[in-house]
């Protein structure tokens, strides 16, 4: 057994859970007194009303319960029995509904208007997984700020973002909405997005409240099937799932959303440990928790609550403050309080939290604060916003492979064949969760390439992409076995110097409710790729997709592969600028790309086994598959540039005993022919732990710009924050012993130094 030294026990997560009836104290909030005075005036029904959230009257982002009829909702608005609406947008509509709450209800408490502003409002930025590939926190913050500015101008004051679920399973459709597989990078991105949405002043008319979701474990849905059960141990929970959520609390996120899934048999919505012990007690979260769509009622289907009344009781006891679209709080909470099954102090606590956020948003000062028609007409879809999302889009692109210097393209005298339905698609780049983004408004790759006029460009569709669903509603399937367009594509390829093939997924093949069991190119796209390659091997494959894909044939045969995700309104311009070398790509993968779906979940920060991971001659008893390699096709952190970066060996300065830190240095040199940017990544491996540690853990990153021929020394400092981990009891622990430190350009780097922490 390992020699164990407890250097630091920083947090006492394992302490006895507090009594859920203990009131949350918000005394340090400047609005606390106002909230208390208002609370004193409210009837029990009015208090419960604040905990009730209704969907609007058109957009639906979940199954519609029968009781969702508009007349009843209007009636309850007048009674003051509604605290929030979701899916109401546009100044005229928001004003109309707010007017009823403010002018026709007894106390005139303003509503808070929530919406899924996930990656832009009308000016659409790259999907969050793509943005994360930039590792550029400033750009990500700017992009969230654009989204907030536009949403706020449309009357919205609360976004259900960021989704900070760590995701390891590419089959799960919602990987597009998160920051990928790493909790460290995920935490940094989570903070940047919260800051971008909320700014420094929540009451400003260009900021909105953010919502950390889905608390917790949703990203670990078994087999990548949406809404499926989650069964994970404490090591994963504390070290992988929780960190980005805790980072959001540190960034002062105003709200949390719980999740649909069970966590180890207890639905997250009714999970007292998650919402009370961890979130509200340990992390001292002062905001409020909204349920996910109908998730209070779904506890009945989970086999956890026997009826609506019990579901409401369990949810409120567990700390779910607002009921999104289950209608169970409004139906049962009063009786539950009257019968003493639920203490009124719990209701007061929830309402206090909700009212505080409304005060902070400035809604009590002016309920129509976010209802300015002039702002709405001028700010939304502005040129400046398009420039910001274009910048974000370029930074999100990852160059996966570039043999024979296929890229960048020469600007003159070339015949370029552009092939694939996605190349001319103006809709798919907007991706899932595009809200007010108008269909078919993205710049296509075709349009982007047409800006460059020095080459002769020929376009052929080749084949459609499979489409099972084109919006939230199921629609008829496009016949994707159709190869009738191949001949034209092959002809175009044969006559070209270079072929740009744009393949991947339709914009609605990822997102909520869009899990897949296959990760290959949908439809006949793989056949198209091979047919084109057979007549012209000078192929550049541009991928448009919302999840990691398994493309082993392409990785072996196609000389250049560009991961261009779903990049939003300016997609085509961003892709063209990268293909022509006006922007040198610098993105790095936030999720591992598997060789085939059987490797999933595959992630870089996995645990060791007791067996070798390298072949043992003549024996089968080592950790492996008999038909596939252990490694991913493209690892986490991988991404090339048109130039080449060289890393020097790592040097180390040990000041841990005196200053509590270790300093690592490496010199990075741009030895290629282009100026470029590199994301320098630091990984640690704690070789022996009293809870065994992953083979590598990202603990630092720096984005550096290096002109060609120039070197830069990059310095990282490691403190107890980077060297420790959470034990299975939830205690932070730094242990003495050997560590490997790696610094390089991807998680596969072998540039390492070993160190003994004494």
- Identify the burial level of 551 via C-beta atoms within 10 angstroms of its C-beta, where 0-12 means exposed, 13-18 middle and 19 or more buried: buried
Residue 160 binds to ligand BGC (criterion: CB under 6 A): yes
Query: DSSP string covering 11-41, please?
Result: -BTTSPPPPTTSPP--TTSTTHHHHHHHHHH
Place of tokens 């070993």: 754
> 256 or 293: whose CB is closer to ligand BGC?
293
Rounded to 10 degrees, the C-alpha dihedral 40/43/44/45 comes to -140
Positions 109 through 138 that interact with ligand BGC (CB under 6 A):
116
- Rounded least distance, CB 260 to ligand BGC, Å: 6
- Could you tell me the CA-to-CA distances from 568 to 278, 419, 428 in Å, in that order? 36, 20, 8
CB 743 within 8 A of CB 667: no
Can you give the three-state secondary structure of 635-650, one letter per residue? Answer: CCCCCECCCCEEECCC
> 116 or 321: whose CB is closer to ligand BGC?
116
Nearest residue to ligand BGC, scored by beta-carbon proximity: 61
> 245 or 739: whose CB is closer to ligand BGC?
245
Angle at 208 between CA 202 and CA 211, to 5 degrees: 110
**Phi, psi angles (nearest 5°) of residue 310:** -65, -35
Q: What is the CA radius of gyration of the chain?
A: 26
From start to end of 152-277, where are the E strands? 158-159, 211-215, 255-258, 262-263, 266-267
- Rounded least distance, CB 293 to ligand BGC, Å: 4
- Rounded least distance, CB 178 to ligand BGC, Å: 11
Q: What is d(CA 725, CA 540) in angstroms, rounded to the nearest whole number?
A: 42
b/e for 99-125, b at 16 or more Cβ within 10 A? ebbbeebeeebbbbbbbbbbbbbbbbb
- Rounded least distance, CB 174 to ligand BGC, Å: 8
Residue 323 binds to ligand BGC (criterion: CB under 6 A): no
Q: What is d(CA 468, CA 477) in angstroms, rounded to the nearest whole number?
A: 5
Q: How many residues bind ligand BGC (CB under 6 A)?
A: 9
- Rounded least distance, CB 116 to ligand BGC, Å: 5
How are beta strands 651-655 and 645-647 bridged, if at all?
A: unpaired
> 210 or 501: whose CB is closer to ligand BGC?
210
> 61 or 669: whose CB is closer to ligand BGC?
61
Reported as type and span, the H/E element at residue 315 is helix 308-318
How are beta strands 266-267 and 456-460 bridged, if at all?
A: unpaired
Q: What is d(CA 732, CA 16) in angstroms, rounded to the nearest whole number?
A: 17
- Could you tell me the CA-to-CA distances from 415 to 365, 496, 722 in Å, in that order? 62, 5, 51
> 162 or 504: whose CB is closer to ligand BGC?
162
Contacts with 488 (C-beta within 8 Å, 6 or more apart), sequence order: 460, 461, 462
> 61 or 414: whose CB is closer to ligand BGC?
61
**Phi, psi angles (nearest 5°) of residue 45:** -60, -40
Residue 292 binds to ligand BGC (criterion: CB under 6 A): yes
203 conformational bin, left if phi > 0, alpha if psi -120 to 50, beta if neither: alpha
> 213 or 395: whose CB is closer to ligand BGC?
213
CB 364 within 8 A of CB 107: no
> 86 or 354: whose CB is closer to ligand BGC?
86
Task: Return the residue of 26, 29, 61, 644 that touches ligand BGC, per CB under 6 A.
Answer: 61
- Could you tell me the CA-to-CA distances from 79 to 56, 94, 416, 455 in Å, in that order? 17, 18, 65, 66
Task: Return the residue of 73, 122, 213, 547 that touches ligand BGC, per CB under 6 A.
Answer: 213
Task: Return the residue of 136, 427, 464, 512 that touches ligand BGC, per CB under 6 A.
Answer: 512
The contact pattern for ligand BGC, residues 476-505, with x = CB under 6 A and - = no contact, is ------------------------------
Q: What is d(CA 368, CA 356) in angstroms, rounded to the nearest whole number?
A: 17
Positions 71 through 90 that interact with ligand BGC (CB under 6 A):
86
Task: Return the residue of 49, 62, 270, 507 that touches ligand BGC, per CB under 6 A.
Answer: 62
Task: Return the residue of 288, 293, 656, 732 that touches ligand BGC, per CB under 6 A.
Answer: 293
Q: What is d(CA 215, CA 212) in angstroms, rounded to the nearest whole number?
A: 8
Q: What is d(CA 259, CA 214) in angstroms, rounded to the nearest whole number?
A: 5
> 547 or 685: whose CB is closer to ligand BGC?
547
Which residue out of 136, 169, 292, 381 is catalytically annotated?
A: 292
CA 259 to chain centre: 15
Q: What is d(CA 644, CA 572) in angstroms, rounded to the nearest whole number?
A: 26
> 430 or 560: whose CB is closer to ligand BGC?
430
Is 292 catalytic? The answer is yes
CA 521 to chain centre: 23
CB 559 within 8 A of CB 406: yes
Q: What is d(CA 441, CA 464) in angstroms, rounded to the nearest whole number?
A: 19
Residue 381 binds to ligand BGC (criterion: CB under 6 A): no
CA 363 to chain centre: 28
- Could you tell me the CA-to-CA distances from 357 to 49, 133, 158, 162, 208 in Å, in that order? 16, 32, 10, 17, 10
3-state secondary structure of 599: helix
- Rounded least distance, CB 86 to ligand BGC, Å: 6
- Rounded least distance, CB 490 to ligand BGC, Å: 43
- Rounded least distance, CB 284 to ligand BGC, Å: 24
Q: What is d(CA 98, CA 376) in angstroms, rounded to the nearest whole number?
A: 17
> 116 or 697: whose CB is closer to ligand BGC?
116
Residue 217 binds to ligand BGC (criterion: CB under 6 A): no
> 224 or 362: whose CB is closer to ligand BGC?
224
Name the residues that contact ligand BGC, by CB under 6 A: 61-62, 86, 116, 160, 213, 292-293, 512
Residues labelled as active-site residues:
292
């Amino acid at each position: 057994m390992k020699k164990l030294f407890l250097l630091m026990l920083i947090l006492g997560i394992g302490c006895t859970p507090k009594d859920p009836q203990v009131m949350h104290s918000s005394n340090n909030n400047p609005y606390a007194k106002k909230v208390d005075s208002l609370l004193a005036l409210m009837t029990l029904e009015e208090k419960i009303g604040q905990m009730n959230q209704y969907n609007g009257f058109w957009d639906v982002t979940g199954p519609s319960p029968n009781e969702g009829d508009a007349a009843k909702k209007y009636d309850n608005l007048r009674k003051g029995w509604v605290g929030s609406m979701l899916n109401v947008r546009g100044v005229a509509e928001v004003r109309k509904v707010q007017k009823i709450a403010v002018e026709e209800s007894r106390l005139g408490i303003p509503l808070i208007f929530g919406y899924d502003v996930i990656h832009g409002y009308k000016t659409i930025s790259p999907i969050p997984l793509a943005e994360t590939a930039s590792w550029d926190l400033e750009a990500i913050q700017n992009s969230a700020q654009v989204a907030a500015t536009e949403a706020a101008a449309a009357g919205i004051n609360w976004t259900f973002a960021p989704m900070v679920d760590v995701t390891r399973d590419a089959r799960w459709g919602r990987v597009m909405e998160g920051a990928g597989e790493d909790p460290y990078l995920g935490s940094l991105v989570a903070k940047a997005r919260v800051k971008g949405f909320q700014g420094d002043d929540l009451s400003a008319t260009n900021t909105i409240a953010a919502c950390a979701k889905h608390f917790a474990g949703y990203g670990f849905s078994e087999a990548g099937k949406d809404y499926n059960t989650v069964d994970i141990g404490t090591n994963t929970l504390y070290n992988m799932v929780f960190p980005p959520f805790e980072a959001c609390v540190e960034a002062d996120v105003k709200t949390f959303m719980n999740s649909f899934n069970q966590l180890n048999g207890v639905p997250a919505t009714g999970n007292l440990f998650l919402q009370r012990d961890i979130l509200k007690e340990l992390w001292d979260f002062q905001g409020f928790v909204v349920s996910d769509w109908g998730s209070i009622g779904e506890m009945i289907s989970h086999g956890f609550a026997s009826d609506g009344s019990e579901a409401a009781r369990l949810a409120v006891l567990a700390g779910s403050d607002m009921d999104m679209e289950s209608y169970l709080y409004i139906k049962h909470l009063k009786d539950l309080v009257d019968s003493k099954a639920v203490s009124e102090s719990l209701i007061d606590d929830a309402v206090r939290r909700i009212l505080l956020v409304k005060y902070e948003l400035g809604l009590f000062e002016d309920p129509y604060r976010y209802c300015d028609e002039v702002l709405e007409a001028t700010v939304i879809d502005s040129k400046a916003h398009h420039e910001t999302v274009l910048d974000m889009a370029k930074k999100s692109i990852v160059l996966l492979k570039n043999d024979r210097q296929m890229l960048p393209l020469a600007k003159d005298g070339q015949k370029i064949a552009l092939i694939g339905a996605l190349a001319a698609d103006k809709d798919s780049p907007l991706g899932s969760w595009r809200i007010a983004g108008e269909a078919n408004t993205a710049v296509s790759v075709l349009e982007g390439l047409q800006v460059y006029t020095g080459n002769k460009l020929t376009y052929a569709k080749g084949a459609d992409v499979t489409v099972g669903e084109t919006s939230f509603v199921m629609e008829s399937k496009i016949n994707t076995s159709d190869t009738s367009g191949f001949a034209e594509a092959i002809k175009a390829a044969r006559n070209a110097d270079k072929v740009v093939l744009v393949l991947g997924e339709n914009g609605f093949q990822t997102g909520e409710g869009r899990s897949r069991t296959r990760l290959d190119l949908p439809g006949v796209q793989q056949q198209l790729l091979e047919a084109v390659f057979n007549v012209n091997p000078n192929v550049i494959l541009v991928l448009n997709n919302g999840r990691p894909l398994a493309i082993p044939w392409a990785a072996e045969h196609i000389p250049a592969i560009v991961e261009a995700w779903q990049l939003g309104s300016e997609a085509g311009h961003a892709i063209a600028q990268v293909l022509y070398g006006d922007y040198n790509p610098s993105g790095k993968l936030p999720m591992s790309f598997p060789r085939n779906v059987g490797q999933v979940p595959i992630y870089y920060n996995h645990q060791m086994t007791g067996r070798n991971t390298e072949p043992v001659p003549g024996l089968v008893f080592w950790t492996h598959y008999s038909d596939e390699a252990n490694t991913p096709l493209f690892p986490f952190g991988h991404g090339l540039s048109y130039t080449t970066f060289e890393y020097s060996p790592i040097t180390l300065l040990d000041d841990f005993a005196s200053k509590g830190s270790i300093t690592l240095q490496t010199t990075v040199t741009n030895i290629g022919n282009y100026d470029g940017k590199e994301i320098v990544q630091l990984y640690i491996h704690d070789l022996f732990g009293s809870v065994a540690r992953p083979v590598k853990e990202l603990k630092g990153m720096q984005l550096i710009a290096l002109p060609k021929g120039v070197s830069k020394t990059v310095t990282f400092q490691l403190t107890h924050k980077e060297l420790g981990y959470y034990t299975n009891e939830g205690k932070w622990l730094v242990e003495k012993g050997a560590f490997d430190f790696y610094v390089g350009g991807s998680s596969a780097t072998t540039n390492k130094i070993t160190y003994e922490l004494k």
